Amino acid sequence: MTARPPQTPTLRRKEVSMSEHLPPPQPGPEGVNSYGTDDPEEQAQIEAARTAAAEERRANRAKLERYVSYGLNEEDAQGLIEHEQMLKDRRDAVAAGQLEQGEADKRIRPRIYVRSLVDHTEGHDIGDWIDASRDLEDIQRDVQSILSRSLHAHWTGEPAEEWAIHDQDGFGSLTLHEYESLDVVCALGKGIAEHGLPFAAWAEINDATDIYTLNRFEAAYFGAYDSREAYAEHVFEEMEGEKELEALPDWVRDVVRVDYERMTHEMETSGEVRFVDHPGGVWAFNGRV
């Protein structure tokens, strides 16, 4: 009888499901839903944000289809929409005072937002911010650059020639006209960049479109003071008024008081001095210049 060789036992692999390795799912907190919160007020805010985002997507899609129908390819049309949104976000940030200013440059940088008028009337935001503190030729070049990007000109072959100022930044309380001359914008921008907001105040109390008047700022500006009375005290000191008081007899000096409020009233009513109020005090200007 022939002996059989020993047989190697067959190893069977145990089929193990992933569920045997992973812990069972944990139930979420009660009341939490797709909003991630059970607070009704927060849910309302989230729902409003979702609705706004959906509306923006629909509007952008409609705009994309319109641009494509005008002859742009889809990629260029999408790029134009993103560019318009970037400009809008930047304008909103400027209006809200959220733009950060570099530590290396704390000067005021007056700017204007210029749009192509023909495109604006057709519903397209073809425009950009322009630094108004540079030379006139540079500002004019930037305006022409904006007009050269006109969609109307691209579609019709007719050049875009008209533009308008639709926003401004860094001009203080001075309001520019929509069709302000660029040489006036340049004079204002350079003056504010060099002298700060007192220059804008000087322009505002005079004819801001008169470049000759704007150029007289340095001769007219007396300085910044905490109040009108503080300026009167400064004038009194400059005139060495204290010495005059000391020359008086003691019994007279004891009853003499300098009425600084009356001094400033007389200065203003006579036209000798003009004051402009601002949050930190007043700016004083020579009223005869």
- The length of the chain, given as a count of residues: 289
| Inter-residue contact 81 to 60 (CB < 8 Å) | yes
Q: Render pLDDT for 100-153 as a digit per residue (tens, 0 to 9).
A: 443 333 468 899 999 999 999 998 999 999 999 999 999 999 999 999 999 988
Stated pTM of the model: 0.62
Name the amino acid, one letter, at 283.
W
Return the domain boundaries, the chain.
Answer: 216-289
DSSP-derived 3-state class of residue 127: strand
| Helix, strand, coil % in the chain, rounded to nearest 5 | 50, 10, 40
Residue 67 has pLDDT above 80, yes or no: no
Query: How far is residue 99's CA from residue 129's CA, in Å, rounded to a whole number?
Result: 14
Query: How far is residue 241's CA from residue 248's CA, in Å, rounded to a whole number?
Result: 11
| Inter-residue contact 171 to 200 (CB < 8 Å) | yes
| Inter-residue contact 87 to 127 (CB < 8 Å) | yes
Query: How far is residue 68's CA from residue 91's CA, in Å, rounded to a whole number?
Result: 26
Q: Render pLDDT for 152-170 as a digit per residue (tens, 0 to 9).
A: 888 889 999 999 999 999 9
Name the amino acid, one letter, at 274.
R
Q: Render pLDDT for 27-43 as a digit per residue (tens, 0 to 9).
A: 445 544 666 777 788 77
Question: Tokens 């992973």, residue?
Answer: 22
